Structure 1
Amino acid sequence: MKKTVLSVLVALGLSSAAMAQDAATDFATLDADASGGLSLTEVQAAMPDVTAEAFATADADVSGELSEEEYATLAPAM
């Protein structure tokens, strides 16, 4: 019985962590200054492994910020 309860608690904890990660990488949440675009700093706050090169590659219109569509291409790769 204890193993079952422990297993359920672990599964709930992992699913909660996954949901928190999804929320932390949501475009609107990352757009700290509400500019409508994400700077490299804003992206790196949630995904520190994003390099300037990866950011520049995702920035298709070379605006210096990622639009929601550009971010959508970057996020799954990370």
Structure 2
Amino acid sequence: MRKIALGLAALLMAGSAALAQTPLTFADVDTDGNGELSFAELQVVWPDLTQQEFDLADIDGSGGLSIEELNSLQPSTLPSPTGVPAETPAN
């Protein structure tokens, strides 16, 4: 019986780790369901995002980012691959 309990505990821990690595969708992050991501909603999944970066991406000034605004923000804030300057494509 103890072996079964230990096996189930190990299985549950492995399963929760897999769930934690599952990518989130826009709808998962949009907790209030209004179709835009607020700064607070984004900070839950993107803690390094600054208010200034958010405001620059909020092109229409609505206080939230649409999918298009979010997509325009992401490439400019992602670090370039090690050893490859951001302006130069990798060969």
Query: CA–CA distance in 1 between the matches of 2:47 and 2:35?
Result: 21
Q: Given the two structures, how large is their TM-score scaled by the length of structure 1? A: 0.66
The structure with the greater share of residues assigned to helix is: 1
Runs of 4+ off more than 4 Å:
none
Q: Report the Cα offset of residue 30 of structure 1.
A: 0.8
Query: CA–CA distance in 1 between the matches of 2:73 and 2:41?
Result: 13
Contiguous gaps of at least 5 residues in structure 2: 1-17, 79-91
**Deviation digits for residues 17-71 of structure 1 (CA, Å, limit 9, x no counterpart):** 9x62xx23x2111101101110000011100000000000000001100011001
Query: CA–CA distance in 2 between the matches of 1:37 and 1:75?
Result: 15
What's the counterpart of residue 31 of structure 1? 30
Matched residue SS, 2:71: helix
Contiguous gaps of at least 5 residues in structure 1: 1-15
Query: CA–CA distance in 1 between the matches of 2:46 and 2:33?
Result: 18
Matched residue SS, 2:52: helix
Residue 75 in structure 1 maps to residue 74 in structure 2: yes
What's the counterpart of residue 46 of structure 1? 45
- How big is the alpha-carbon RMSD for the aligned residues of Structure 1 and Structure 2? 1.9
Report how many aligned residue pairs link the two structures: 59
Residue type of the alignment partner of 2:59: A
Q: Given the two structures, how large is their TM-score scaled by the length of structure 2? A: 0.57
